[in-house]
Structure formats: structure tokens, C-alpha cells
Amino acid sequence: MFSSPQLRIVGALVLAATLTAGCGSSAGSDADSGPTRQFAADNGTITIPVKPKRVVATGYAVPALLESGAPLVGISTWKRGLPLMSAADRKTYEELPKIAGESAAETNYQAIAKAEPDLIIVGVPKVVLGDINMKRLTSIAPVVAIGPTVPKAWRELSQKQADAAGALKGFDAVRGSYEQKAAKLAEKYKSVLPKLKFGHVGAYGEVSKGSFEREFNGSWGTNVAQDMGANYYGRVKVMGKGAKSVSEYPSIEEMPAAFGQADAITYSVDVDGSVPPEVQYVLDSPLWKNLPAVKAGMTFPLRYTEAATYRQAELTLDAADKAFSRLLK
């Protein structure tokens, strides 16, 4: 749903503090949908089926519910996430009817109605909800909006989406696999990663403005590496909302001040390992070449930094393991 750094900044994930308080419990029954419960979402407290049988999902809810095995009958397209999907999830994705495009404005209400859902899960930021005709959507089925806030909160976001869809069993299995792998890697690197002060160059700088993206703890390029023991020092100078609380966009001239204290620097690369232009702009700078960490050879490319589900994040763990492996030699 995001096509610019600004929307990406808005798009990070739901906070854990709302999770257990918001999910509620059985609250009655309905002749059409069976037992219902109250569910706290971005659009209010919504009455939803306890066990939905036909779910439509959009945005960030798509990959999360594919992985959890939710009873999906329609989804929005999610092209950015295709390279991160497993073969099985990709097959299901291709087979499901597409009821919306990449943006909220591309919602096909007739296609959603044709799918006959008993629950609609909208995975977009609150600011994007204005592009959706919620009155028309709620006339089809109950709608819960569960959209992103800060990047690292994809964990809570995906759990809440799976909970709404009645797919927590499948979600817990995927999460367990990730947590087991993360714990093993944290043990593997416990003698090196926690001792280093990390910096990270993100993929959303603006070359035309002469800026780069610096990401701190909790951001897209950093949060999975943190589960392995990495720590990204510092904090944003001007605290904002969403991703603006964990990333900032200094001018290229500020690079020595940004990364001068770093023992090691990671940087985002594409899924195929190629360097995006926004990052290459940094790597080509003489200021980059003069950083202590760069001179010491302590730079590490990280793939799959846009992971927003546990199965995707396992790919990020594997990529980080490969990048950091030389620290153990």
C-alpha cells in the first residue's frame, strides 16, 4: 500500500500493548455468522465471528494470513511481498481471487461482495483508511482495520490479524519456528554481536535531496538482527510517529557524525543481493570510505529487510547469519 518513503514511514506496525486487551472473547451469537465476539481494531470495537469461515484480506494482512492458514476467499495484490513468500504461500496467493490492487483506492467492492466473506481484514495504516468506502465495505461483512505503526511491531500486527481470522494455531507454529531459529543464532553470536555498536543504512534515502536513511533499533533493517544480539546505537534527533521514531534522513554531509562511532555498519540490499540506488549513493561517497567501520572492513549487507511476517523474517535471519558469519572466524 506504500509507494513512497513518506507512506512507508507511516507504515510500520501495531503495538503489543493493545494486543491482549483488544482481542476480546465470545460476546454472543448471530443467526447468520454463529457465535460472535468483540474485537478492538483501528476502526473501533467490532463484532466479528468467533470462527470466521470466509475471510477477505488486504495489505499487510495478506502475507500474515497466508502463512497462518486463514480461510481466505479473496485478497488484495501484494507484489512487493512475492519474493519473500514460500512456494506454498505463493501458490495460494496466485490461486485466490484478487479483490483489490496495491493501494487502498483500488478496492473492488463488487469483487468483495461476490466472495461472500463473513469477515474483512484491512491491513493498511489509519491515514489510508480515508481512501476506502468503509460504509460500503461494512454493508458486506464486519470490517476490522489492523494497520501498521512502527516497523518492529509486525510481530504483534500479524498475531492480531491471525487472531481476528481465527487462525492462531497456524500463526503460533510459524512464530515458534522463527523464535527457535532466532534463539539459536543469538547463542551462536553472543560472543561478538552484543559487543559492537551498529549503524544501519536503509533503502529509503532520497538521492535527489542528497540524503540517506539511518535506521535505529526497531526499524525495518534492524529489528530482526536485534533478535540475534545486534544493537544499533543512538536515536532520532526529532521524534516522530511510526517509522519516524526509529529512522531519520540526514544529509550525506552528516554521515561522519551519524556513523563515526559505529564499530560495524549494516546496509539494506535487495532480495537478489543487488544494492539499491539509495544505498549505492552512500557507498560511493568519499565520506563513507573514510568511516572507521568501513576502513576496518566491518560492513555487512542485509537482505530481506522488509520482512513483515515470521516466515519472511526467517529469511532475514538466514541472510544476517550469512553476512555475520565472518565475525566468528
| Farthest-apart Cα atoms in the chain, separation | 69
Residues with Cβ within 8 Å of residue 271, at least 6 apart in sequence: 83, 84, 303, 304
Rounded Cα distance between 278 and 12, Å, is 20
How confident is the model over 124-172, as pLDDT tens digits? Answer: 988 888 899 999 999 999 999 999 889 999 999 999 999 999 999 999 9
Kindly state which CATH superfamily the domain 5-175 is placed in. Answer: Nitrogenase molybdenum iron protein domain (3.40.50.1980)
Domain ranges of the chain: 5-175, 185-328
Helix (H, G, I), strand (E, B) or coil at 164: helix
Residue 235 neighbours by CB distance under 10 Å: 12
Distances (CA, A) of 255 to 13, 159, 211, 282, 316: 28, 37, 9, 9, 26
Provide the whole-model pTM.
0.88
Asked which of 118-132, 259-273, 277-291 is least confident by mean pLDDT, the reply is: 118-132
Superfamily of domain 185-328: Nitrogenase molybdenum iron protein domain (3.40.50.1980)
φ and ψ at residue 158, rounded to 5 degrees: -65, -35
Instruction: Extract the C-alpha cell encoding 320.
Output: 544476517
How many Å apart are CA 262 and CA 291, to the nearest integer?
9
pLDDT tens digits, one per residue of 173-229? 999 999 999 999 999 999 999 999 999 999 999 999 999 999 999 999 999 999 999
Indicate if 185-328 has the same CATH topology as 5-175: yes
Q: Find, among 13, 39, 267, 18, the residue nearest to 148 by Cα.
A: 13
Q: How far, rounded to the nearest angstrom, does the alpha carbon of residue 3 sit from its chain's CA centroid?
A: 15
Q: CA of 247: how far to CAs of 66, 124, 197, 224, 241, in Å?
A: 29, 20, 16, 15, 10
- Going by C-alpha positions, the residue among 314, 98, 143 that lies closest to residue 322 is 314
